[in-house]
Structure 1
Amino acid sequence: MVSSRHEVMHRIFQHDPTVFARAFRALGLPFPDPMEVVLETCDLTEIKPVERRVDTVLRIESAQGSFLLLVEAQQRDDLDKPAAWAYYVAYCHAKYRIPVILVIVCHDPITAKWARRPIRVEVGDWVSMTVLPFVLGPDNVPIVTDTDSAAADIPLATLSAVTHAADPRIGAILNTLATVLKRLDPGDEDRVIFRELTELGLGATPAADLWRKLMPVDSSFFRSETARRVRAEARAEGLAEGKAEGLVEGKAEALTGSILRILTRRGIDLTDADRERITSCTDLAQLDVWLERAITAETATEVFGDR
């Protein structure tokens, strides 16, 4: 389940891996078009007790041969990241024995500029290894405000909206994307997925408020098969990410996040006390009850079952 702004970028690539080729083609970079795409494991941990996990690993089969696409979303400068990125590239090249491309997706131009620096392992003038990331950011992702262009490539239009959240033209970008999504059938999974990805990708920016006005969610969505799967993934995510000593906390966090998001989408007003009550609860059975009630409740009182 998509749970944060950080995850949105690589989820777009997972949903439609060919979006990277189209984004780079706009920059004139010669990547071959994918013919087949396989999602590989993101766990790059060795026997040593050091966890290494890249956001997304895609194996691309093209007419020119196979290569790996590593996708990382980066929101700010992080001095530990370049060394980790070099490790990802070296490890994947050694494991799969095919070329590796590292793509860093950034929300702001300052982070994008930082991420473009070559990563060098060197002593004096002797360079043992150089890693050159390809970086997508607001300075090179195209601004999509043409309806026909957006309709022809919804994933790229979504990537455009997310990376340009702070751009003065974001209103036109979001209007274009909303127009295209509204043309899809309400039950179309792409409409649901890209509406969700866009809102999460915009985070707490003013653009997110505009997006919610442009693309409100009907309460029937939360009863749909897609919504049921999303809730199931939320529960599974809590179990998968929980450590031995923190299993309950991990699942509880995933469930509370889903409850709050559903209530927010449905326009249910919550007081600070209501939010505290939800986020502080660690009773998984109680959270499951609140999650189901959130789908149809008209007030916070109905969610809690208080008289």
Structure 2
Amino acid sequence: MPSQEHEALILLFKNRPELAAELLVEALGMPVPGYREARVESGDLTECPPVEYQADAVVVFSDSDPVLAVVVEVQRGRDKSKRWSWPVYLASVRARMRCPTVLLVVCTDASIAKWCAMPIEMGHPGWRLAPMVVGPGAVPVVTDPAEAVDAPELAVLSAVAHGGGIEAQPVLEALLAALAVVDVQRARLYADFVLMALPEVARKHMEVLMAVGTYEYQSDFAKKYVAEGKAEAIFIILSGRGIPISAETRSRIVACTDPTQLDAWIQRAATAVAIEDLFS
């Protein structure tokens, strides 16, 4: 069963197919042919007679015709079956698209990345498949807000890989700049994904950045995102203390986007004996 992290990583490529080229060039130093279009193709590689093969994503770069296909696999564990299925993915996509095809494996764990990078001996003389693997250390460090705005999905990967390190502040600020320019649904999904992936200290730091707006591109999304989290905390505390919450009170709390006011209500909720104590 694919995890939330696995699905979120795949969605980065589906939302921005160009991310495959950015990783190949910037993380792995592989030249990518000039192209006018990047699109996501079906990852269904089932053969006839039916043998089910399903790649996580297939990105095709085209000029007038396809110039490069990239089979994208998100790998979070050591799955020995992939050593047999990955060559099938490449051969199937290459035959379908009639263009050079490469395997790009994305890992959030360095040890898994090392395992995935082991060459696959095909048995035929001279045929040896070396997966192109992007582990956390190879992900480009995005600290320039302008670069993040141009490539939001790359900024998300950068934050996941480097948001807990020594360059966390500029990395997270660049990410928040990117979240300000994508639609609210994508921004929420990306923020949830990064917050889930970050260590606790870095996660709290990102939440503070979102709340106080210390970055140039602070967005209404960031304010609303933090406000909703604080409102939910108030409801949980009041519920735990057995204090009923009317629809009117709930609407008033949800409508508030002032972090200072929300923090005050959280503190009052911890000692309140009635709902009136929250607003006194």
TM-score range, shorter chain: 0.5 to 0.7
The unaligned stretches of length 5 or more in structure 1 are 223-262, 275-294, 300-307
Look up the match of 1:181. 179
Q: Is the 8 A contact 1:5 1:202 kept in 2?
A: no
Structure 2 CA distance for aligned equivalents of residues 153 and 98 of structure 1: 26
Look up the match of 1:76. 77
Q: Is the 8 A contact 2:144 2:170 kept in 1?
A: no
Look up the match of 1:106. 107
Of 160, 163, 176, 1:162 maps to 160
Structure 2 CA distance for aligned equivalents of residues 155 and 265 of structure 1: 27
Q: Give 3-state SS (helix, strand or coil) of 2:36's partner.
A: strand
Runs of 4+ in 1 over 4 A off after TM superposition: 216-222, 263-266, 268-271, 295-299
* 1:32 shift after superposition: 2.1
Look up the match of 1:267. 232
* 1:105 shift after superposition: 0.8
Structure 1 CA distance for aligned equivalents of residues 49 and 236 of structure 2: 46
| Mapping 1:68-217, distance limit 5 Å | 68-122=69-123, 126-127=124-125, 129-182=127-180, 184=181, 188-189=182-183, 192-205=185-198, 206=200, 207-215=202-210
Structure 1 CA distance for aligned equivalents of residues 97 and 88 of structure 2: 14
Look up the match of 2:277. none
TM-score, scaled to structure 1:
0.61
- What letter matches 1:90 in structure 2? A
Residue by residue over 1:166-219, the C-alpha shift from the partner in whole angstroms, topping out at 9 and shown as x without a partner, is: 43433431122214534x4xxx51x54144224214535424444444447869
Residue by residue over 1:214-267, the C-alpha shift from the partner in whole angstroms, topping out at 9 and shown as x without a partner, is: 447869979xxxxxxxxxxxxxxxxxxxxxxxxxxxxxxxxxxxxxxxx86963
Structure 2 CA distance for aligned equivalents of residues 57 and 266 of structure 1: 40
Structure 2 CA distance for aligned equivalents of residues 50 and 202 of structure 1: 38
Look up the match of 1:303. none
Structure 2 CA distance for aligned equivalents of residues 220 and 214 of structure 1: 10
| Mapping 1:41-52, distance limit 5 Å | 41-48=42-49, 50-52=51-53
Structure 1 CA distance for aligned equivalents of residues 12 and 82 of structure 2: 22
Which one is further off, 135-144 or 29-38? Answer: 29-38
Structure 1 CA distance for aligned equivalents of residues 231 and 53 of structure 2: 38
Cα RMSD of the aligned pairs, angstroms, is 3.6
Number of positions where the alignment pairs a residue of Structure 1 with one of Structure 2: 229
* 1:92 shift after superposition: 1.8
Look up the match of 1:227. none
Q: Is the 8 A contact 1:42 1:57 kept in 2?
A: yes
The unaligned stretches of length 5 or more in structure 2 are 212-219, 241-249, 255-280
Larger radius of gyration: 2
Q: Give 3-state SS (helix, strand or coil) of 1:34's partner.
A: coil
| Mapping 1:232-271, distance limit 5 Å | 267-268=232-233
